[in-house]
A and B are shown apart, each in its own frame.
Chain A
């Protein structure tokens, strides 16, 4: 991807013209480029023509709903998606997360909060200076340089966030992570107890990497506390 533009491109999908314009002003002020899309059914066309680095997606859209758009984007790309939702209702949030969104932010939000979320999603996990650039556990190998996860020869498509989440767990196999710790480490939240984010993403990772997602071996739940990676002796 050498031909990529230098500036970060954010696609803002919202039918409210004024909000979209305001978002554009703020994001441009932060040195980002913005594509504005106001209809759900126009998203994919713009997406293919000028692939963005991140999508800000309103859930209530004319044409196609945000959930449907989210699924369409996910079928083609693993780029970060942050939902903008006017409803804090659990069902909508969970549906959006299950459709493939990485994070969500409830309207009305603080400008700072929005920017922090966007930046957290754009930031690549810094590759730690470990001896090997590969982690193996339970038949799954994580390539830290190529940002790739394989089971055997098969590449498993993970979103960037899913990759980060899996890596956080796999790097310290013995450690039990509380949901809050994961929120801080992976999402960059400081004070949040919205554990639904963690739960939904863990489910998604499991459905991708586990042999039987109902009886997970790689990402285990520690009741009442959080999650930890399965116990596999590290192989070189």
Chain B
């Protein structure tokens, strides 16, 4: 599966990202609010309880008849023991009674605490705040349990706690601080339970969302995927496949219009195929029907031509004209048929491994007599080794003959240079003449059918006006191209470039297109 290319994957990815952000935000806000609420209510109830216990204690000392130090000590012991007795329930606080401004590290003199808690449980900053005002003060800290005889190894146990403190004064004994140390572990446990639940809920919610999106997108994506597969088959030429149409929703409409498109394409292609077949038949029929009488004509003309010396001059000249024009007619017919074959798309390449150097040599040899008639000579430059290239030798020969004939016809009797070059990805042949040349803008027009540079004079040069156009089509059939460059009065250059691998795009140029 191509996950990165899949629409479903993209939708799921987006959903995952967005829902994670959303649910995480929601859950953390909820978590914060809940834990804040729990803590606040804890503080509130602890403050109320501490306040009343502080009053109780203060009243105890007022009511107690303290006559001596030992009485006071008893009173302190009783108060603290009373609180200690109520221990056993985690919700009850530890209590510590301290003398104001005592700086000793341990409890001494009139200082007492429940359950062996260590004096370091109460921070100096809290003590300062407690002494500064009559109001109760609190902060979060921890209860530190000192090591005792029961726990002989020096182990300090620490419990997170809310520590509340207040002060009161006992006549003759001065100011005292009283601290209530509430363990927060029950609340912390509740909060962490809530957090865990929220986390699990959030993950579950994201998963459910993903599933919903996956299920929904499947309903849309499955038909789209089907359409894509069928479209691929269509482009590969298989017109039999159709999409299934179910219901009347947008997907069904997609399927319906898709199928209509496929049918329209199919009928259009069938129509074109028929047209092409008709065209092909027509070409073949015209070909046959014209060629047979033309053969008879030519043979008759040949016969008369050979005996033209026995006739008087006008008939003799007529025989020559007849023969020449028949030949021209034949060339025109051949090329017209070739052009119509190109148009009908019924041409096919017959590729073979061929030595281009030898092939060019042969074409040059064949056209030498005509070149000599015009006073031109060929100058052939080629690599010293074979240049093996896969081409259709007959078409390649025709390309060369067309280019060479052109060079001879417009070369003004000057030399004609031909060069073969072999590149990494292509083979190229250049034909350069030093004749009339081409004007600006004519370099592409020379390949147009029946185009003539100068209509008034060039008809005398023979040629059908189709040669270069056919040559270009032949080159393109090889995946190649013919390019032209010319300067008026200086001659012209034609370069055929044929790729070694027909399936690859031709980018290499072995000849600079300059004169």
Chain A: residues with CB nearer than 8 A to chain B? 16, 18-19, 22-23, 25-26, 29, 60, 86-87, 89-90, 106-112, 180, 191, 193-196, 223-224
In the complex, what distance in Å separates the CA atom of A29 from the CA atom of B303?
10
Question: A87 contacts B298, CB within 8 Å?
Answer: no
In the complex, what distance in Å separates the CA atom of A89 from the CA atom of B288?
11
- Give the interface centre of A90, A112, A224 by most chain B CB atoms within 10 Å: A224
> Residue on B with the closest CB to A105?
B295
**Distance of B346 from chain A, by nearest CB (Å):** 9
Q: Which of B298, B350, B355, B365 is close to A108, meaning CB atoms less than 8 Å apart?
A: B298
B128 close to A (CB within 8 Å): no
B293 close to A (CB within 8 Å): yes
Question: B353 contacts A16, CB within 8 Å?
Answer: no
Q: A18-B296, A110-B298 are in contact. List 9 more A-B contacts (CB 8 A).
A: A19-B296, A23-B299, A87-B284, A108-B295, A108-B298, A110-B302, A180-B362, A191-B365, A224-B353
Residues of chain A within 8 A (CB-CB) of B355 are 224
> How does the 8 Å CB contact mask read for B291-322 relative to A, with 1 for contact and 0 for none?
11111111110110000000000000000000
In the complex, what distance in Å separates the CA atom of A16 from the CA atom of B293?
8
| Chain B, range 240-295, C-beta contacts under 8 Å to A | 284, 287-288, 291-295
Question: B303 contacts A111, CB within 8 Å?
Answer: yes
Query: What are 12 sample pairs from A and B whose C-beta atoms fall under 8 A apart?
Result: A16-B296, A19-B295, A22-B295, A25-B303, A86-B288, A87-B288, A106-B291, A110-B298, A112-B302, A193-B362, A224-B353, A224-B355
Q: Total contacts A to B, CB within 8 angstroms?
A: 70
Residues of chain B within 8 A (CB-CB) of A112 are 302
In the complex, what distance in Å separates the CA atom of A23 from the CA atom of B303?
11
Question: B296 contacts A26, CB within 8 Å?
Answer: no
**Distance of A185 from chain B, by nearest CB (Å):** 16
Residues of chain A within 8 A (CB-CB) of B205 are none
Chain B: residues with CB nearer than 8 A to chain A? 284, 287-288, 291-300, 302-303, 330, 348, 350, 352-355, 359, 362, 365-366, 388, 393-394, 397
Q: Which of B292, B362, B397 is close to A19, meaning CB atoms less than 8 Å apart?
A: B292
Q: Which 10 A-B pairs have the closest CB atoms?
A: A224-B353, A108-B295, A86-B288, A111-B302, A86-B291, A107-B291, A108-B294, A107-B295, A19-B296, A22-B299
> Residue on A with the closest CB to B393?
A193
- Give the interface centre of A109, A180, A193, A194 by most chain B CB atoms within 10 Å: A193
> Residue on A with the closest CB to B366?
A191
Residues of chain B within 8 A (CB-CB) of A111 are 298-299, 302-303
Question: B330 contacts A108, CB within 8 Å?
Answer: yes
Question: A224 contacts B302, CB within 8 Å?
Answer: no
Question: A109 contacts B298, CB within 8 Å?
Answer: yes
Question: A16 contacts B292, CB within 8 Å?
Answer: yes
**Distance of A221 from chain B, by nearest CB (Å):** 11
Q: Which of A89, A90, A224 is close to B354, meaning CB atoms less than 8 Å apart?
A: A224
In the complex, what distance in Å separates the CA atom of A109 from the CA atom of B299?
8
In the complex, what distance in Å separates the CA atom of A44 from the CA atom of B365?
43
In the complex, what distance in Å separates the CA atom of A110 from the CA atom of B296?
10
Residues of chain B within 8 A (CB-CB) of A89 are 284
Residues of chain A within 8 A (CB-CB) of B303 are 25-26, 29, 111
> Residue on A with the closest CB to B388?
A224
Question: A22 contacts B352, CB within 8 Å?
Answer: no
